[in-house]
């Protein structure tokens, strides 16, 4: 027996030292064996076969998890869209938020507009079902292949444990999908119940409920009555006011109404003419392009072409409808102009009419020149979009959309406009009076010169109209138009 504690401790330490040295000698001997296994050319798979199986199982189950998530998501995508069709509802993401002109009051026009938007959205739903169904079948086949590989590998407990983990992951993933689908469907139902199908966002609160689903270029307001100068006599009682001032006040109000009607008539004429030219050149202005994109993982060219055709058809239908709406409004304003000019002729105000016709012609010329300038700039901008292949990605907001996944094929329609007419330099943003004009604007300008001849012919003989100055001429935007309050007795 050991006589003391110190001797016992020394003996224990010695045994531990001997054990460590023995284990280290064994490890050294095993290194040579492992070395031969590493550099063995006859059997590569004998080293760490257990770790190799574990790594292979891990990568396979990770791939299976990814494929199962995609397969689950696509199944719910198809099933949800079919339910929307069944209930005749459109999810928010597929509603086309392009509105008709705010001054559209014809219920027939509004119903046609709404029907066009709904048809385009329903077509997108059908196309999304086809796309998602095809992708679902692909992911389902991938899942079957991975599960077959796992079964053939026969990993035993590794497969059992990982299947249990994977089932839990997919259950939670599917539960999240169900929750989101439920919330979105309830939200969409409330939109229909509350009559806010197209005005669900605060951004569109200004849209009238009766004016369902493009904000076209609204005409600038006419000169406010507060800006019209009136003499002190005009504020007095008409019974004590001189007869001349009465004629002046009546002429002023009539010419202000004529100015307003002429501006509306001019704006609507250009709206109709411009849209017809867009149809002629097979182009869509930015404001009428539907910025709803197909799924980013859509690679089928056939699916992309169908998506493109649907968007283009809906936009072209909107252009046709806008032409009909604007043409009807143009005829109304033209009739109003004729009535007002007839009233002025019957009033026989003499010099008052002469001077104010001259002022009015100058105002309308400047107003129409501004319209031509804006139309010219926008048409050139739209041409550049098509030339640069950015028909639907003109905004930085949509830069993430891949070129190969554009909702429209820019080569599908022939380029009827020569590239020489499209400006790409910095000169394109200069004043339109110093740059070449698009051919269709020049053509429309010459035709437009004859549209106001009825007003021109009503000018007295004493007022000479110099060609090229009183006609429609593109010039720099006039900030201060001469108002009608400069009328004199």
Q: Are 416 and 431 in contact (CB under 8 A)?
A: no
Residue 473 has pLDDT above 70, yes or no: no
Q: What is the largest CA-CA distance in the chain?
A: 145
What share of the chain in percent tops pLDDT 70? Answer: 61
d(CA 230, CA 136): 74
Q: If you search the block for the tokens 């035993």, which residue do you land on?
A: 156
- Give the contacts of 353 (CB within 8 A, at least 6 positions apart): 251, 344, 347, 460
Torsions phi, psi of 288, nearest 5? Answer: -110, 10
Residue 16 pLDDT: 44
Residue pLDDT, tens place only, 17-72: 444 444 444 545 665 666 565 555 554 444 345 567 788 889 999 999 999 999 99
Q: Quickly count: other Cβ atoms within 10 Å of residue 23's Cβ.
A: 10
d(CA 159, CA 150): 7
What share of the chain in percent tops pLDDT 90? Answer: 48
Residue 414 pLDDT: 35
d(CA 227, CA 482): 12
Give the DSSP H or E segment for 340: helix 301-347
Residue pLDDT, tens place only, 137-181: 999 999 999 999 999 988 888 899 999 999 999 999 999 999 999
Residue pLDDT, tens place only, 232-269: 444 444 444 445 567 788 899 999 999 999 999 999 99
Q: Are 372 and 366 in contact (CB under 8 A)?
A: no
Residue 487 has pLDDT above 90, yes or no: no
pTM of the model: 0.66
Residue 451 has pLDDT above 60, yes or no: no
Residue pLDDT, tens place only, 151-162: 998 888 889 999
Averaged pLDDT score across all residues of the chain: 73
Residue pLDDT, tens place only, 382-410: 999 999 988 888 776 665 554 444 443 33
Residue 29 pLDDT: 64
């Amino acid at each position: 027996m050991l006589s003391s504690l110190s001797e016992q401790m020394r003996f224990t330490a010695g045994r531990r030292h001997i054990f460590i040295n023995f284990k280290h000698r064994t490890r050294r001997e095993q290194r040579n064996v492992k070395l031969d296994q590493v550099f063995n050319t006859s059997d590569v798979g004998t080293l760490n076969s257990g770790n190799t199986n574990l790594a292979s199982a891990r990568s396979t189950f990770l791939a299976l998890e990814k494929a199962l998530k995609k397969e689950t998501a696509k199944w719910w995508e198809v099933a949800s869209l079919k339910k929307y069709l069944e209930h005749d509802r459109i999810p928010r993401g597929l509603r086309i938020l392009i509105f008709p002109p705010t001054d559209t009051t014809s219920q027939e026009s509004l119903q046609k507009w709404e029907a066009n938007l709904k048809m385009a959205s329903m077509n997108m739903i059908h196309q999304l079902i086809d796309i998602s169904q095809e992708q679902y079948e692909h992911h389902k086949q991938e899942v079957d292949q991975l599960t077959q590989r796992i079964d053939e590998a026969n990993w035993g407990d590794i497969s059992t444990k990982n299947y249990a983990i994977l089932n839990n992951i997919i259950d939670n993933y599917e539960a999240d999908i169900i929750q989101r689908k439920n919330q979105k469907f309830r939200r969409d139902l409330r939109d229909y119940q509350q009559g806010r199908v197209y005005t669900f966002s605060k951004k569109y609160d200004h849209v009238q409920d009766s004016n369902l689903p493009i904000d076209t270029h609204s005409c600038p307001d006419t000169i406010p009555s507060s800006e019209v100068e009136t003499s002190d006599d005009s504020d007095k009682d008409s019974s004590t006011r001189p007869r001349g001032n009465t004629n002046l006040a009546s002429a002023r109000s009539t010419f202000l109404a004529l100015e307003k009607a002429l501006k509306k008539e001019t704006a609507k004429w250009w709206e109709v003419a411009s849209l017809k030219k867009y149809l002629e050149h097979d182009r869509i202005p930015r404001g009428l392009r539907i910025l709803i994109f197909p799924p980013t993982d859509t690679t089928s060219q056939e699916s992309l072409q169908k998506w493109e055709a649907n968007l283009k058809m809906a936009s072209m239908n909107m252009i046709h409808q806008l032409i009909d709406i604007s043409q009807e409004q143009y005829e109304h304003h033209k009739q109003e102009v004729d009535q007002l000019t007839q009233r002025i002729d019957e009033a026989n105000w003499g010099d008052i009419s002469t001077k104010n016709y001259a002022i009015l012609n100058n105002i309308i010329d400047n107003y129409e020149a501004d319209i031509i300038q804006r139309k010219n700039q926008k048409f050139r901008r739209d041409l550049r979009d098509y030339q640069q292949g950015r028909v639907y990605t003109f905004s930085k907001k949509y830069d993430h959309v891949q070129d190969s996944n554009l909702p429209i094929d820019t080569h599908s329609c022939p380029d009827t406009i020569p590239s020489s007419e499209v400006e790409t330099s910095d000169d394109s943003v200069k004043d339109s009076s110093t740059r070449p004009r698009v051919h269709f604007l020049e053509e429309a300008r010459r035709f437009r010169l004859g549209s106001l001849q009825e007003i021109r012919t009503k000018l007295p003989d004493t007022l000479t109209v110099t060609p090229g100055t009183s006609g429609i001429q593109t010039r720099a935007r006039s900030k201060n138009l001469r108002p009608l309050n400069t009328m004199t007795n």
